[in-house]
Amino acid sequence: MAAYANDILVSSEWVSNRLDDIRDDDPALQLFEVSVDTEVYADGHIPGAVNLDWNAELQDPETFDVPTKAEFESLLESYGVTPETTVLLYGDMMNWFAAYAYWLLKYYGHDDVRLVDGGRDYWTNKSRQVSTEQPCVSERTYTVTGVNDEIRVDREVVQDAIDSGVSIVDVRSPEEYRGEVLAPPGWNEGVQRGGHIPGAINIPWSRAVSADGRFKSPSELQDVYEPVTDSDEEAIVYCRIGERSALAWVALHELLGLDQVQHYYGSWVEWGNTVGAPIQRGRYAEQKLEKKDEN
């Protein structure tokens, strides 16, 4: 089987064989759990893993943006990470938010980041060791030396990319892409208009992973992302709030090795609420609500 373009995945077996190193308060290796459901960490996690709360720590609640450079540095410092640390990440729901943490670390230029393939569910389904102990880590110094702007785009760049040959990939569910669901239940992420960025193709994020939660093989990923890999142009990925698309970014940029893949962090919440931003198959929220009431 052909290999992935970059060696960024580690198997659960690889982690299992290094649990002593992970448990040590040694900056060489640091393991983080980043789960959508932040409470599952307390039920039991990979021994030595530190819990990262995506909602409180991996986004800036004030600006609704990624943490600032200073916030990011102090976060990593508090968890004993240095620029030389090999950071291992895993989480629930097929590594969805772990992949976002991966992208964020790459955005702030961290060199060595790995994802534990399959994430939390694969680990527990294999009945591997879990612990409820919270590891103690010593504070260390972390300095961001450069921000990797090439892997992130803002709305203006996306606007320019429409009709320019750039592949725009919408990783949300088909019903969100079609504009049938405006406010996903249970998330405070509603928008005024449904639909998608004109020209965007819908490849739901979960298609990058197998039923057991591990990433698909390189040839399977090639098939899934054929519309993107067939083009020599750049690609932009987006989702609802810019987290699930990070998993597609990992698949395209890291595993398939496409050079120019960018993550639109503002995603649909920004686009769908922006006055004047063009959409396809859009309609106003009120119309959808009326239709819902008929059912």
Question: Going residue by residue from 1 to 40, which x/- string records binding to other proteins, judged by CB under 8 A?
Answer: -----------------------------------xx---
Question: Going residue by residue from 275 to 294, which x/- string records binding to other proteins, judged by CB under 8 A?
Answer: -----------------x--
Residue number with CB closer to other proteins (174 or 278): 174
For the beta sheet containing 86-90, the strands, ordered from the edge strand earlier in sequence to the opposite edge, are 9-10, 113-116, 86-90, 29-33, 50-51
Sign, CA torsion 186/192/194/200: negative
Given candidates 187, 226, 231, 286, which one binds other proteins under the rule CB under 8 A? 187
Residue number with CB closer to other proteins (125 or 141): 125
The answer to whether residue 248 forms part of the interface with other proteins (CB under 8 A) is no
Q: 105: which DSSP letter?
A: H
Pull the structure tokens for residue 256.
Answer: 């398939």
Residue number with CB closer to other proteins (28 or 289): 289
- Could you give the maximum distance between any two Cα atoms of the chain, in Å? 60
Task: Tell which residue, 274, 12, 242, 72, has the closest CA to residue 159.
Answer: 274
Length of the chain: 295
Given candidates 156, 186, 275, 276, which one binds other proteins under the rule CB under 8 A? 186
Q: Is 239 a catalytic site residue?
A: yes
Q: Which residues are bridge partners to 86 per DSSP?
A: 29
Residue number with CB closer to other proteins (48 or 272): 272
Q: Which residue has the tokens 């030595």?
A: 48
Given candidates 2, 56, 136, 211, which one binds other proteins under the rule CB under 8 A? 211
Asked if 93 and 35 touch (Cβ cutoff 8 Å), the reply is yes
By DSSP bridging, strand 113-116 and strand 86-90 are: parallel
CB of 63 to other proteins, least distance (A): 22
The answer to whether residue 184 forms part of the interface with other proteins (CB under 8 A) is yes
Residue number with CB closer to other proteins (1 or 211): 211
User: Which candidate in 36, 239, 241, 261 is catalytic?
Assistant: 239
3-state secondary structure of 76: helix
Asked if 277 and 271 touch (Cβ cutoff 8 Å), the reply is yes
Catalytic residues: 239
Residues that bind other proteins (CB under 8 A): 36-37, 93-94, 125, 173-175, 180-181, 184-187, 204-206, 211, 244, 292, 295
